[in-house]
Structure 1
Amino acid sequence: MTHVLTTGLVPSGPTRRGARRVLPGFGLTLGISLLFVALIILLPLSGLAFQMAQLGFPDYLNIILSERTLAAFSVTISAAALATVFNATFGLLLAWVLVRYEFPGKRLLDALVDLPFALPTAVAGIALVALYDKSGWMGMLLEGMGLKVAYTWWGIALAMIFTSVPFGVRTVQPVMESLSPDMEEAARTLGARDLQIFRHVGFPQLWPSFITGASLAFARSLGEFGAVIFIAGNMPFETEIASLLIMIRLEEYDYPAASAIAGTILGLALVILILANIAQGRAARHLNGGK
């Protein structure tokens, strides 16, 4: 009798402890993940750290604070900052159009957003030169207006914008698609204008993903090489980027100097990503009522 009652109380399906998992257990999954992280990320970074370890701190400062290196950092960071501001703003607007409106060619435009990810950066650089050189149709048009893009700082920023624009769109687009229109409609019934609704209702919910997209675009622009060198002109102290200077030091077999410059750029990108992660977490907690 007891056996029958006990058996009847046991669920017919698998118990929670004995439930079958699609993926392996936590230990095996974590071990495989750490192995891939070690081989793909930590191993190359350890090689960079080994090269930097050959430098003393005074030698590191001499390399980083040299006039040519500082000029390359200035060109790279300023152009990356401009590309980030443009892509964050433009990406938000483009994502809004793709999510909120229906129009002919929408799917094609949505697919074109990912083109910089698929297109080799060297091909992108050659295409930009052919377009914005003084012999290209955009270059001839701009030259008639007294403007020059190819082989200038503006060309560097343009190449960075092209290669990092998907980050500004793809990070906010899924969040925008998940937003419920109920709050916007409620604000509209209370007399709020469209801009007020966007500022006080829509954008606060997009802020965490907006920060993520901007930080990823900046980090991507800092390390850009292929698309930039064709349109930059590569003039020391004027249009020479940090990635090109690293390549020059490698060709000179000055591996410690190349590692010092690369490590500085990497450190800057990591700091930006960490700060963005902290800001994103705080924004998310604020949206969840401090939880």
Structure 2
Amino acid sequence: MSKLSAHINNIALHHTVFALPFAYMGLFLAAKGIPTFHDFIWVTLAMVGARSSALAMDNIVDLKFDKVQPRMKKRPLVAGTIKPIEVFVLIIISLAIFLFSAAQLAPICLKLTPICLFFLLFYPYTKRFTFLCHYFLGVALAMAPAGGYMAVTGQLPLGIIFLSGGVCLWIGSFDAIYGSQDREFDLKHHLHSLATKFGVAKAHRIAAYLHCVSILCFILTGIYFDLSWIYYIGVLIAIVTLIYQHNIISPNDFHRLTQVYFMRNGIVSIVIFIFTLIDLI
């Protein structure tokens, strides 16, 4: 059980809160209400498989940096609680679950898996050559609502593109803020980020501007799908959450950039999905 717990911790399973609610949002919007049990289960398994393989890959690719990064010393792979070969096995199993689950949904889902896998597995390498690495991560998570919708309809309407764009900018900008505390480490090891490119203060301002654009995308999603005022309550709570998150941090003080700060951003995905669900049913 301790080994299983270490693997769950290694892939940060609790971080599923960032993408899974948006996958469900795409699924419920496609079904115009409650989806079939078949679609719900296979979308869930596809998400778990895709996300687990991506996080495990990220930990393997960045292991040499994590070993010398004080903030990462408690990670199971860094601490030696689990072995790299075990992580590789987990990646293979997770990918198998993802591909098999995709095959149970609309035919286009399996056909598009190579594109999904590119962003899921290539993301860890992007910080080696571009400050836009945060938004590669954003694209990976933005595939969640698109995948959820296409799993039912096989289509990708403009409203889902708005939703996916909002997810990309929301999580990418948040990742840029959270990663800004590693600026000195990244510069020393020739890694790239928004903070290494523009400095911490400017990176935070850019993230704030793009968070505004993400909110606009969520509003356009509601307009496209003709959602009622109930949906916009969720968007309003998301706005308040983002304003609060930006106000409690400082470019000169990183002590608030903790796991609590990290997880609090999950409120955005949860409330937008919940109020979409209430609106639909």
Normalised by the size of structure 1, how large is the TM-score? 0.30
Structure with max Cα Rg: 1
Pick the structure with more helix per residue. 2
* Larger RCO, structures 1/2 (Cα 8 Å, 6+ apart): 1
Normalised by the size of structure 2, how large is the TM-score? 0.31
